[in-house]
A and B are shown apart, each in its own frame.
Chain A
Amino acid sequence: MHWYLGRFGQYALVLLAALSLNFLLPRAMPGSPLRFLAGEDVGMLAPAQVAEIRARYGLDQGLGVQYLTYVRNMATGQWGFSYQLGKPVADAIRDRLPWTLLLVGSSLLIATIFGILVGALAAWRRGRGLDTASLTGAIVVDSLPTFWLGMILVAVFAVELRWLPIYGAMTSWGPRTGLPYVLDVLRHLVLPATTLTLASLSGTFLVMRYAMLDTLGQDYVRTARAKGLRERRVLVKHAVRNAMLPVSTVVFLNLGYLVGGATVVETVFSYPGVGTLLYQAVLNRDYPVLQGAFFILTVSVILANVIADLVYPILDPRVRGSGA
């Protein structure tokens, strides 16, 4: 119980940090915070609109009151207004979030499955060809900039070979219902998801390999072998199942990394998720959207951590009740 209190206190701090940063940045910069709260086009707004913005953010009041107003607005979904997009920030993000979840979710799933498989096999065949090759591969792939990997995949598989679409999440004027729509979305998902999977594979792989080496040296594995179980059965039933426990924590911790990776990958593929929204906000100096996107990504990472904390005791009975 004490452990959970500590963890959730930590997440509350992270949330507070993200909120405070978003609050302070526009106000700490030289010049009027209006430029950051309304976007670069503030000069073109009518005086009435400017007065409305000043009132909404309580800019004429003290910083303490402004902060409370700000937190209340964030809590009630009033995340500001993007004059460049012509709609509330929360609406813009709601339109984009499902695509990011699809991209990050599918990449996480594939990277986890492959990471566990390759990690287990590499540890089992330690020091042999597959082990050496996958370790070398992990180091090399980790050295590639994620966005550049995506650019190369686009160049080869979309531009030169023309196997897959170059950009977007669906064909413009393409099918919007039924199986053809699903297939169209999947076709557009292949390259961005492959990029993100490759970029995040090595973390899961390395932890699985290490955990597997550890379990393979345990007494219960030796016992299983000694009582004459076939090697396959020893591996799957005894070694892999136990080695997967530490992996489960890494999977969720990977999410913060994946969210960042998704930002650049979406940009390469013009995939209509939160990452592309963030990129466009950077180009247009659309600060309200920039801050909204950062906030929602922070909340997603916190949620993933909470899920990990709740799931882990279910997977591993040893940490239950121990409070560790």
Chain B
Amino acid sequence: MSAPGVVIPSTAAGTRLPRRRGGTLVSVCFGTPSAVVGTVLLASIVFVALFGTVIAPYDPREVVARPYLAPSAAHWLGTNDIGQDIFSEVLWGTRVSLLIGLIAATAAILVGTLVGVVASLAGGWADQVLMRFTDVVLTLPFLPLAIVLAAFLGPSFWNTALVIALVIWARPARVVRSQGLSICSRTYVEAAHALGGGFVHVLRHHVVPGVIPLALSQFILATSGAILTEASLAFLGLGDPIQKSWGTILYYAQARGAFLNGTWPWWVLPPGLLISATVLGFALVGRSLEGVLMPRLRQHGS
């Protein structure tokens, strides 16, 4: 699972591992050509998320022109079915899509990491119970599950983030647990136990620090997954109609005939391209992070 161009400098990145945090960050963001592409994509998206509402020429919630206008100097991406400015909608939507993705991924990683480390350290029946439950969540078809939960909870910004977190925490939990098991079998953890270190002590001082790099790369994966899931849910009409995300814009485009009246090049293309660029950016930076923090992982893919 390694990106092209990631393969060559693996030994170089490996030697860079010791505690030079600044150096690590630089090699994650700029170490390989694909990492540079990912960093540039993410930086641009974050910039738009932060300042999009200032750059936007109109308030996307207000009707500012006739409906279904083609792009013009006044409306760069034309107007939608009720005469709102699509360019402004897309700029505002950046923040909604990115925030839901980040919030859902943060919650999912916190829960997943907690479940993973507790299961690996506790072992026995606690491990059994936690992992059975994790596997159940992993086996359920996740998008239909998210749809059902979102439909019952009702469409809103926080509900969408909650639903996504509920369906994506299981994979990081599995991954973190297997890393936790490997840490728990090492001699220094045995020594900590032997010296009388309790459950919480070993958890805090040995297991949690050991899984943090992994949890970080899982977080990036989870964010891109969450952004895609949010887009799908919003596209199915489960997005917050007040705070439109990119997916919600696409839902209205599909429902209000963007294909039949030829408005799709400026109504459908831009939001989808932005979703793809964001997810691609997270994927590329995530791979780079994996390579730098865990050089051994790299050999699997290449």
* The one of B4, B250, B284 that contacts A151, using a Cβ cutoff of 8 Å: B250
Say whether A260 contacts B141, CB under 8 Å.
yes
Tell me the complex Cα distance, A256–B140, Å.
8
Nearest Cβ on chain A to B22's Cβ, whole angstroms:
28
User: Is the C-beta of A210 less than 8 angstroms from some C-beta in chain B?
Assistant: yes
8 more CB-based (< 8 A) A-B contacts, given A143-B276, A144-B275, A159-B259: A36-B152, A148-B271, A256-B139, A263-B143, A264-B232, A283-B237, A297-B141, A300-B141
Residues in B whose Cβ lies below 8 Å from that of A22 = 148
Tell me the complex Cα distance, A292–B302, Å.
44
Contact with B along A122-162 (1 / 0, CB 8 A): 00000100001001100110111111100110110011000
* The one of A10, A11, A14, A135 that contacts B4, using a Cβ cutoff of 8 Å: A135
Say whether A151 contacts B264, CB under 8 Å.
yes
Say whether A294 contacts B142, CB under 8 Å.
no
Say whether B259 contacts A155, CB under 8 Å.
yes
Contact (A145, B231) CB under 8 Å given A13-B136, A256-B141: yes
Contact (A210, B279) CB under 8 Å given A13-B132, A256-B139, A297-B141: no
Contact (A142, B147) CB under 8 Å given A151-B272, A267-B236: no
Tell me the complex Cα distance, A84–B118, Å.
47
Nearest Cβ on chain B to A37's Cβ, whole angstroms:
12
User: Is the C-beta of A183 less than 8 angstroms from some C-beta in chain B?
Assistant: no
Residues in B whose Cβ lies below 8 Å from that of A148 = 231, 235, 250, 268, 271-272, 275-276
The tally of residues in B whose CB lies under 8 Å from a CB in A reads 50
Residues in A whose Cβ lies below 8 Å from that of B59 = none
Residues in A whose Cβ lies below 8 Å from that of B301 = 210
**Interface of B (DSSP majority class):** helix
Contact (A282, B147) CB under 8 Å given A140-B280, A155-B259: yes
Residues in A whose Cβ lies below 8 Å from that of B144 = 259-260, 263, 278, 293-294, 297-298
User: Is the C-beta of A206 less than 8 angstroms from some C-beta in chain B?
Assistant: yes
Say whether A287 contacts B152, CB under 8 Å.
yes
The tally of residues in A whose CB lies under 8 Å from a CB in B reads 59
Contact (A155, B228) CB under 8 Å given A143-B279, A301-B139: no
Nearest Cβ on chain A to B290's Cβ, whole angstroms:
13
Nearest Cβ on chain A to B216's Cβ, whole angstroms:
20
User: Is the C-beta of A200 less than 8 angstroms from some C-beta in chain B?
Assistant: no
Say whether B236 contacts A264, CB under 8 Å.
yes
Say whether B139 contacts A144, CB under 8 Å.
no
Tell me the complex Cα distance, A25–B230, Å.
21
User: Is the C-beta of A251 less than 8 angstroms from some C-beta in chain B?
Assistant: no
Say whether A144 contacts B140, CB under 8 Å.
no
Say whether A302 contacts B139, CB under 8 Å.
yes
- Seen from chain A, the residues whose Cβ lies within 8 Å of a Cβ on chain B are 10-11, 13-14, 17-18, 21-22, 25-26, 29, 36, 127, 132, 135-136, 139-140, 142-148, 151-152, 154-155, 158-159, 166, 206, 210, 256, 259-261, 263-264, 267-268, 278-279, 281-283, 285, 287, 290-291, 293-294, 297-298, 300-302, 305
Tell me the complex Cα distance, A159–B258, Å.
11
Tell me the complex Cα distance, A219–B257, Å.
59
**Top 5 nearest A-B pairs by Cβ distance?**
A260-B143, A148-B272, A143-B280, A143-B279, A132-B4
Q: List 8 A-B contacts (CB under 8 A).
A: A36-B152, A143-B280, A146-B232, A148-B231, A148-B276, A283-B237, A287-B151, A290-B147
User: Is the C-beta of B238 less than 8 angstroms from some C-beta in chain A?
Assistant: yes
Residues in A whose Cβ lies below 8 Å from that of B264 = 151, 155, 159
Nearest opposing residue in chain A for B149, CB measure: A25
Tell me the complex Cα distance, A144–B246, Å.
13
Tell me the complex Cα distance, A155–B250, Å.
13
Say whether B140 contacts A17, CB under 8 Å.
yes
Say whether B259 contacts A154, CB under 8 Å.
yes
> Which residues of B120-143 have CB atoms within 8 Å of chain A's CB atoms?
132, 135-136, 139-143
* The one of A21, A142, A147 that contacts B232, using a Cβ cutoff of 8 Å: A147
User: Is the C-beta of B145 less than 8 angstroms from some C-beta in chain A?
Assistant: yes
Say whether A10 contacts B139, CB under 8 Å.
yes
Say whether A282 contacts B151, CB under 8 Å.
yes
Which of B7, B151, B236, B271 counts the most A-chain CB atoms under 10 A from its CB? B151
User: Is the C-beta of B3 less than 8 angstroms from some C-beta in chain A?
Assistant: yes
Tell me the complex Cα distance, A148–B141, Å.
20
Say whether B224 contacts A143, CB under 8 Å.
yes
Nearest opposing residue in chain A for B139, CB measure: A14
Residues in B whose Cβ lies below 8 Å from that of A166 = 259
User: Is the C-beta of B19 less than 8 angstroms from some C-beta in chain A?
Assistant: no
Nearest opposing residue in chain B for A286, CB measure: B151
Tell me the complex Cα distance, A152–B276, Å.
13
* The one of A145, A147, A300 that contacts B276, using a Cβ cutoff of 8 Å: A145
Say whether B280 contacts A147, CB under 8 Å.
no
